[in-house]
């Protein structure tokens, strides 16, 4: 029986033939003669030259099984056995083995490789790298598990669901879109995990579907009922009484109807362009005169609130007070309000049915910088094209009939595996609307950061002389426990208004639209200071904002440099040159996080304020390299990518191996957002084989497979998620009793080590070295609550010890310690 016959027998209306799609395309600049730049720009390899490649002493192979290896098998074959990749069930969300004992998780068995590397070491087994994309999905699963933690306040749990959904949106917009593009172009190759591109695409789809269905089910079955009990009732239109509907009729006529634009689809109205991530209604209307059915699409304007709050007094913009007073407030999804009033938009037509849907598009930008006269102009042109990227995912409500779904998939050109059928309401990012309400008992207890101990003996409303503090000693800042406003921000603001400051040089990757940092640079330029801002306009999804405030700075005389061709400038640096009685002094800040006041309150990061001559000389040389031509720069206390970070860290690992073999103390402590780079991973495997304990705290992607006999039994990997996003990077080595510790902007990924300008600074103050070592040791300790990567490659959350007592919440401990520095503040 055909689909058409089936729907006719079931009583559903038989849809008429619908018109073919004719997608819009962005306006081009055809016919305009291209202007050629008369001089050649410097290439990344010229500005950051590397030494002639030597034999890799860590024994790393040539990565014939890595990302750039050509496939030698059919892409249609079944998934490889666990020998080649992490076990197929490693991310299954209903996994049964949640034991916190590593002995309960049998390790993977990897087949040994025969032969030696060019340096004479035994080859490491294939299948030793966990897949990057699947590891990322495991990270997002941990985000979902955080939402399931009943110890957290309800709106915070809902907030973690929004993070899960937002993360997955970006994953599809960038990673999945890129994979699909490479497959279509025939350039996709076998990944370092051993998966062919088609296999990886299928596994991503399978796991994404399963995880997302679980997220939506958890929202419907757990979070939504608990919200109801707390007075936040997400209510369907059908459940409202007549009085409530009348209030929403008035709201629709006054606030919604004037801004809606229904789009009919017929031979004179081709299928419209559906913008990415927007919520839409697919509408079927019938002409009562002819009996013919017609299709229309309506975009839900993003300027409207995701939910309409309805109290007993009618619609209220902020019902927080009513909820705090014990009143139950109905929150009606805006798409349901619109659906109930479609007759206003199609007068004279019969509304047959309507269903929500949402499209995700490829929104990764590709700027051909080598051919662009101006990076800024090229980026602005590419931003105009972003919304026209091909569709990579379609989310629809589970009750959408097949003939409407078929029409959408045909016109959007998405396959069945890219369709997600989910329970309404779609797009759980809308729960942010509820999280923004002022209901303290349903959210984290407020935390007020404190001034770093090295900048002030006690909290004060008066600004301290920050330059005097830095002259006295290096200052280590630990955000968000320490205050960004009274440390990094104050450093730059004081520099802008200090008449003795002659110059400020600053890198900017992401910052807020009303950033006091940008305003301080503008004030400094207006005061006649020399101000240089290295602005990365290729910072993903912040490109347009960065262009806006970069142009604003240019207009007042800030020397704005738009990064380097071929490289993203991701390092976090600020250099202030000040005239003092004994000559010029250079004050420096090197950090792990962005100069962004908002994220500084929610991201865990580190920064160093120093007047050390070596660091000052390093920053001076690096800024000259970024804004001018200085390819032969050398550095004292910095490691700088793409030139020296990978080699510098591998040298530290190899020294630990040598010390271990010599019977000396040896250990490695790493804390990072992601670890993917194969050469770094292999170096850590070699260290484990030599008996060096390797402790790793990683928030996101991890290509390491710990606990495998003969390869990684000395590697221990944990992940911590919590109130704050763990964002700092720390790389520490025992160094024969004289520990060496680096902090900075670089994760251990190809993009950080090869395609970005990154900087790590070596910490020299003994107390600061000890603090950072203890920070990582506490993070990876068995007494700390965390997720642990088991030998079978499953992530297991461990919140209690064998006696059932709660393990330490490291973020809670750090908040309490920081607050204890303030007289009279509670330490609980």
Q: Which of 609, 636, 663 is the last residue of a domain?
A: 636
Q: What is the largest CA-CA distance in the chain?
A: 92
Residues 624 and 657 occupy one common structural domain: no
Quick check: is 15 in a domain? no
Q: Which residue has the higher pLDDT, 720 or 268?
A: 720
Please check if 393 is assigned to a binding site.
no
287 is an annotated ligand-binding site residue: no
**Residues 615, 497 share a domain:** yes
Helix (H, G, I), strand (E, B) or coil at 92: coil
Query: pLDDT value at position 95?
Result: 53
Query: Is 384 a residue whose pLDDT tops 70?
Result: no
Contact 276, 376 (CB under 8 A): no
- pLDDT band per the 50, 70, 90 thresholds, residue 513: low
Q: Are residues 409 and 328 in the same domain?
A: yes
Statement to judge: residues 806 and 742 lie in one domain: yes
pLDDT tens sequence across 426-465: 999 999 999 999 999 999 999 999 999 888 765 555 668 9
699 labelled as ligand-binding?
A: yes
Residue 236 pLDDT > 80? yes
Reply yes or no on whether the pLDDT at 333 is more than 90.
yes
Q: Kindly tell me the sign of the dihedral angle through the C-alpha atoms of 651, 655, 656, 657.
A: positive
Top-confidence range, 116-130, 278-292, 630-644: 278-292
Indicate if the pLDDT at residue 731 is higher than 50: yes
Q: Is the pLDDT of residue 634 over 80?
A: yes
Say if residue 89 is in the same domain as residue 191: yes
CA–CA separation, 510 vs 231, rounded Å? 37
- In which band, very low, low, confident or very high, does the pLDDT at 797 lie, cut at 50, 70 and 90? very high
Q: Indicate the pLDDT class of residue 27, thresholds 50, 70 and 90.
A: very low
Q: Does any domain span residue 689?
A: yes
Q: What is the mean pLDDT of residues 259-277?
A: 84
pLDDT at 453: 86
540 is in an annotated binding site: yes
Beta carbons of 690 and 661 less than 8 angstroms apart: yes
User: Distance of CA 113 to CAs 65, 72, 109, 121, 177, Å?
Assistant: 12, 18, 12, 11, 34
DSSP state for residue 417 in the 8-state scheme:
G
Give the CATH number of the domain where residue 329 resides: 3.30.1840.10
Residue 606 and residue 651 in one domain: no
740 inside domain: yes
Q: Which tops the pLDDT comparison, 113 or 483?
A: 483
Is the per-residue pLDDT at 35 higher than 50? Answer: no
The whole-number pLDDT of residue 488 equals 96
Domain boundary among 176, 197, 218: 197
Residues 680, 796 within the same domain = yes
What is the per-residue pLDDT across 351-361, written as a single tens digit (0 to 9) for each?
999 999 999 99
512 pLDDT more than 80: no
Whether 121 and 191 have beta carbons less than 8 Å apart is answered as no
Find out whether 727 is annotated in a ligand binding site. yes
The distance of Cα 639 from the centroid of its chain, to the nearest Å, equals 24
Average pLDDT over residues 495-499: 96
Please check whether residues 605 and 564 belong to one and the same domain: yes
Residues marked as catalytic: 570
pLDDT at 323: 94
Convert the pLDDT of each residue in 77-94 to its tens digit. 343 333 333 333 333 344
63 belongs to an annotated ligand binding site? no
Please say if the pLDDT value at position 25 is more than 60: no
The CA distance from 769 to 811, in Å, is 20
- Please check whether residues 374 and 348 belong to one and the same domain: yes
| 394: number of Cβ within 10 Å | 21
Tell whether 286 and 425 lie within a shared domain.
Answer: yes
Percentage of residues in the chain with pLDDT exceeding 70? Answer: 81
Claim to verify: residue 435 and residue 476 sit in the same structural domain: no
Is 626 in the same domain as 662?
A: no
Q: Is the confidence at residue 779, as pLDDT, over 70?
A: yes
563-606: pLDDT as tens digits: 677 788 889 999 999 999 999 999 999 999 988 888 899 999 99
Going from the C-alpha of 297 to that of each of 21, 263, 342, 632, the distances in angstroms are 13, 5, 11, 59
Block residue for tokens 């172009």: 185
Distance CA 197, CA 208 (A): 16
145, 215 Cβ separation under 8 angstroms: no
| pLDDT(812) > 50 | yes
Query: In the listed set 613, 636, 659, which residue is the last one of a domain according to the structure?
Result: 636
Q: What is the pLDDT of residue 60?
A: 42
CATH classification of the domain holding 711: 3.30.870.10
pLDDT by residue (tens digit) across 301-317? Answer: 999 999 999 999 999 98
Region 742-762: mean pLDDT is 95
d(C-alpha 381, C-alpha 319), whole Å: 42
pLDDT of residue 165: 97
pLDDT band at 257 (very low <50, low <70, confident <90, very high): very high
Q: What is the mean pLDDT of residues 320-338?
A: 95
Whether residue 351 is contained in a domain is answered as: yes
Residue found under tokens 């370092």: 192
Q: What DSSP element (H or E) covers 588?
A: strand 583-591
Residue 24 lies in a domain: no
Neighbours of 646 (CB within 10 A): 22
Structure confidence at residue 140 (pLDDT):
97
Q: Report if residue 741 sits inside a domain.
A: yes
Please state, in angstroms and rounded to a whole number, the distance separating the CA atoms of residues 739 and 498: 37
- Say how many C-beta atoms besides its own lie within 10 A of residue 145's C-beta: 16
Q: What predicted TM-score, i.e. pTM, was given to this entire model?
A: 0.86
Average pLDDT over all residues of the chain: 84
Domain that holds residue 392: 230-442
Does 29 fall in a domain? no
Q: How confident is the model at residue 373 (pLDDT cuts 50, 70, 90)?
A: very low
Rounded average pLDDT over 99-125: 85
The per-residue pLDDT for range 647-671, each reduced to its tens digit, is: 999 999 999 999 999 999 999 999 9
Judge contact between 608 and 763, C-beta under 8 A: yes
Domain count within the chain: 4
Going by C-alpha positions, the residue among 433, 750, 530, 817 that lies closest to residue 827 is 817
Residue 43 belongs to some domain of the structure: no
Beta bridge partners of 301: none
Handedness of CA 571, 572, 578, 584 (dihedral sign): negative
pLDDT at 195: 87
Q: What pLDDT score does 782 carry? A: 95
CA angle 4, 8, 10 (to 5 degrees): 120
């Amino acid at each position: 029986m055909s689909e058409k016959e089936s729907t006719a027998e079931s009583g559903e209306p038989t849809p008429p033939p619908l018109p073919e799609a004719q997608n819009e395309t962005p306006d081009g600049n055809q016919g305009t003669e291209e202007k050629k730049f008369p001089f050649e720009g410097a290439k990344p390899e010229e500005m950051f030259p590397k030494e002639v490649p030597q034999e890799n002493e860590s024994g790393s192979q040539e990565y014939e099984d890595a990302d750039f290896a050509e496939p030698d098998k059919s892409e249609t074959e079944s998934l490889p056995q666990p020998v080649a990749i992490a076990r197929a069930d490693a991310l299954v969300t209903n996994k049964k083995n949640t034991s916190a004992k590593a002995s309960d998780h049998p390790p993977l068995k990897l087949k040994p490789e025969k032969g030696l590397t060019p340096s004479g070491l035994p080859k490491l087994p294939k299948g030793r790298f966990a897949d990057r994309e699947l590891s990322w999905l495991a990270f997002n699963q941990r985000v979902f598990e955080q939402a399931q933690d009943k110890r957290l306040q309800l709106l915070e749990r809902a907030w973690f669901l929004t993070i899960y959904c937002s993360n997955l949106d970006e994953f599809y917009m960038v990673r999945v879109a890129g994979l699909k593009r490479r497959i279509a172009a025939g350039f996709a190759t076998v990944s370092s995990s051993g998966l062919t591109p088609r296999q990886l695409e299928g596994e991503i789809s399978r796991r994404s579907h399963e995880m997302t269905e679980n997220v939506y089910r958890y929202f419907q079955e757990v979070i939504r009922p608990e919200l109801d009990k707390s007075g936040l009732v997400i209510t369907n239109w059908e459940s409202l009484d007549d009085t409530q509907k009348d209030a929403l009729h008035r709201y629709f006529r006054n606030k919604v109807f004037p801004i809606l634009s229904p789009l009919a689809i017929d031979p004179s109205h081709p299928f419209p362009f559906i913008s990415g991530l927007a919520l839409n209604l697919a509408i079927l209307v019938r002409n009562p005169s002819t009996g013919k059915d017609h299709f229309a699409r309506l975009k839900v304007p993003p300027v409207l609130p995701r939910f309409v709050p309805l109290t007993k007094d009618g619609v209220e913009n902020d019902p927080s007070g009513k909820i705090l007073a014990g009143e139950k407030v109905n929150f009606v999804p805006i798409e349901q309000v619109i659906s109930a009033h479609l007759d206003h938009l199609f007068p004279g037509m019969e509304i047959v049915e309507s269903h929500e849907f949402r499209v995700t598009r490829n929104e990764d930008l590709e700027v051909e910088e080598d051919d662009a006269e101006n990076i800024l102009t090229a980026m602005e042109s590419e931003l105009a094209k972003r919304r026209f990227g091909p569709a990579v995912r379609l989310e629809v409500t589970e009750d959408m009939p097949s003939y409407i779904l078929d029409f959408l998939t045909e016109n959007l050109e998405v396959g069945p595996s890219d369709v997600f059928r989910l329970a309404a309401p779609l797009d759980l990012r809308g729960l942010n609307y509820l999280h923004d309400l002022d209901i303290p008992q349903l959210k984290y207890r407020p935390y007020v950061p404190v001034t770093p101990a090295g900048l002030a003996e006690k909290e004060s409303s008066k600004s301290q002389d920050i330059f005097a503090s830095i002259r006295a000693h290096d200052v280590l800042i630990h955000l968000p426990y320490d205050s960004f406003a009274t440390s990094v921000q104050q450093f730059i603001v004081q520099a802008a208004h200090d008449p003795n400051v002659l110059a400020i040089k600053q890198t900017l990757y992401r910052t807020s639209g009303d950033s006091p940092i940008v305003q301080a640079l503008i004030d400094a330029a207006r005061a006649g200071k020399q101000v240089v801002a290295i602005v990365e306009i290729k910072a993903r999804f912040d490109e347009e904002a960065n262009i806006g405030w970069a142009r604003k700075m240019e207009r007042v005389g800030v020397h704005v440099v738009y990064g380097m061709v071929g490289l993203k400038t991701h390092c976090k640096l600020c250099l202030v040159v000040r005239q003092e009685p004994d000559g010029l002094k250079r004050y420096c800040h090197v950090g792990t996080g962005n100069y962004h006041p908002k994220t500084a309150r929610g991201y865990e990061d580190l920064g160093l304020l120093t007047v050390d001559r070596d660091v000052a000389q390093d920053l001076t040389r690096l800024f000259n390299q970024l804004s001018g031509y200085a390819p032969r720069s050398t550095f004292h206390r910095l490691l700088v990518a793409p030139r020296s970070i990978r080699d510098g860290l591998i040298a530290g690992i190899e020294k630990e191996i040598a010390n271990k073999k010599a019977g000396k103390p040896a250990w490695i402590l790493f804390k990072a957002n992601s670890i993917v780079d194969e050469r770094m991973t292999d170096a850590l495997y070699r260290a484990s084989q030599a008996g060096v304990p390797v402790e790793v705290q990683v928030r996101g992607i991890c290509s390491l497979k710990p606990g495998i006999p003969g390869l990684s039994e000395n590697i221990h990997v944990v992940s911590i998620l919590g109130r704050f996003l763990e964002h700092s990077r720390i790389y520490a080595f025992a160094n024969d009793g004289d520990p060496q510790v680096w902090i900075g902007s670089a994760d251990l990924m190809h993009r950080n080590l090869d395609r970005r300008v990154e900087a790590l600074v070596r910490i020299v103050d003994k107390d600061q070295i000890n603090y950072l070592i203890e920070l990582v040791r506490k993070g990876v300790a068995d007494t700390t609550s965390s997720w642990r990567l088991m030998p079978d490659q499953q992530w297991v959350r461990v919140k209690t010890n064998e006696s059932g007592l709660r393990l330490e919440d490291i973020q809670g401990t750090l908040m309490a310690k920081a607050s204890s520095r303030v007289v009279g503040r509670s330490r609980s």
